[in-house]
């Protein structure tokens, strides 16, 4: 079984490819009445446990060994879409509330399931079972903080004023078994720190800034001295010119 955002696919591998296949599947563990595959998608119910038995059918094998032949087959493990489908990465935007607080506005991936013509999001399907795990860290620091949010409009407070922070979000479904609770992590998004930008500068940047400052000061002093000397000279020249002017 592979399943992403409740779209579930049953795959199998074969040694010989001339077969056709019959997928018999049953809901729950009691194998009551395996049905031949008609359209798995239409009658698939997210909340049930499914087991499948994939059988290779082939006229060639039937001709050779008769209809009583025990066709090669394999069992797929039990699968529960609601509990085991992987959840893809979420998208979100960051809004500043005040210096120490932001709101992450999380949007939900669409599934291939439609209800009344409307394509359902993972939130429509998981409803209140869907929570959000947020990881955030001050940029440049390795210390990460976690937060679990109930709402897709998740507030993160207690941030250091003016610091730049980076955030990642994933769907989190605590009602599921541990192994399938967490969806894929989103890409990282950062809030730009503003007022205290100097705290984020590396040593290299500081050396650069000091170097530039010293250069500017030297250039300033040198040009000042040169200008003063030249002005002084010109002043003298004017004076001599004036003194020798005919009266």
Ligand X SMILES: *[C@@H]1O[C@H](CO)[C@@H](O)[C@H](O)[C@H]1NC(C)=O
Paired tokens of 127: 């409803």
Q: Min. distance of Cβ 103 from ligand X in angstroms? A: 7
Detail the DSSP E strand segments found in the chain.
2-4, 7-9, 20-27, 50-57, 73-79, 91-98, 101-107, 110-115, 118-121, 131-138, 144-149, 153-156, 165-172, 189-191
Q: Min. distance of Cβ 138 from ligand X in angstroms? A: 24
In the shown chain, the binding pattern of residues 43 to 82 toward ligand X, with x for contact by CB under 6 A and - for none, equals: ----------------------------------------
Contact 120, 109 (CB under 8 A): no
Q: Min. distance of Cβ 33 from ligand X in angstroms? A: 25
1 near ligand X, rule: CB under 6 A: yes
86 near ligand X, rule: CB under 6 A: yes
| CA atoms of 219 and 138, how far apart (whole Å) | 38
151 near ligand X, rule: CB under 6 A: no
Count of residues in contact with ligand X, rule CB under 6 A: 8
Backbone φ and ψ for 177, nearest 5 degrees, come out as -60, 150
**CA angle, residues 216, 220, 221, in degrees to nearest 5:** 120
Q: Which of 28, 153, 199, 231 touches ligand X (CB under 6 A)?
A: 153
Paired tokens of 202: 């590396």
101 near ligand X, rule: CB under 6 A: no
Nearer to ligand X, 107 or 239 (CB): 107
7 near ligand X, rule: CB under 6 A: no
Nearer to ligand X, 36 or 118 (CB): 118
| CA atoms of 146 and 133, how far apart (whole Å) | 7
Binding site for ligand X (CB under 6 A): 1-3, 84, 86, 105, 107, 153
């Amino acid at each position: 079984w592979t399943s992403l955002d409740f779209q579930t696919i049953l795959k199998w591998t074969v040694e010989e490819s001339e077969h056709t296949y019959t997928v018999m599947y049953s809901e729950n563990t009691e194998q009551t009445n395996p049905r031949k595959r008609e359209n798995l998608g239409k009658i698939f119910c997210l909340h049930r446990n499914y087991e499948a038995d994939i059988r290779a059918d082939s006229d060639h094998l039937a001709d050779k060994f008769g209809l009583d032949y025990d066709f090669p087959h394999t069992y797929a493990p039990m699968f529960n879409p609601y509990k085991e489908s992987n959840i893809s990465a979420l998208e979100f935007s960051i809004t500043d509330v005040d210096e120490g607080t932001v709101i992450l506005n999380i949007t939900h991936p669409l599934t291939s399931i439609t209800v009344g013509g409307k394509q359902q999001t993972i939130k429509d399907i998981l409803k209140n079972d869907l929570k959000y795990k947020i990881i955030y860290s001050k940029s440049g620091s390795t210390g990460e903080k976690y937060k679990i949010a109930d709402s897709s409009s998740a507030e993160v407070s207690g941030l250091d004023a003016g610091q730049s922070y980076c955030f990642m979000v994933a769907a989190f479904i605590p009602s599921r078994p541990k192994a399938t609770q967490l969806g894929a992590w989103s890409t990282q998004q950062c809030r730009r720190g503003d007022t205290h930008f100097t705290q984020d500068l590396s040593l290299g940047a500081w050396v650069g800034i000091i170097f530039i400052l010293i250069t500017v000061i030297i250039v300033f002093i040198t040009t000042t001295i040169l200008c003063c000397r030249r002005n002084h000279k010109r002043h003298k020249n004017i004076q001599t010119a004036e003194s020798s002017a005919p009266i």
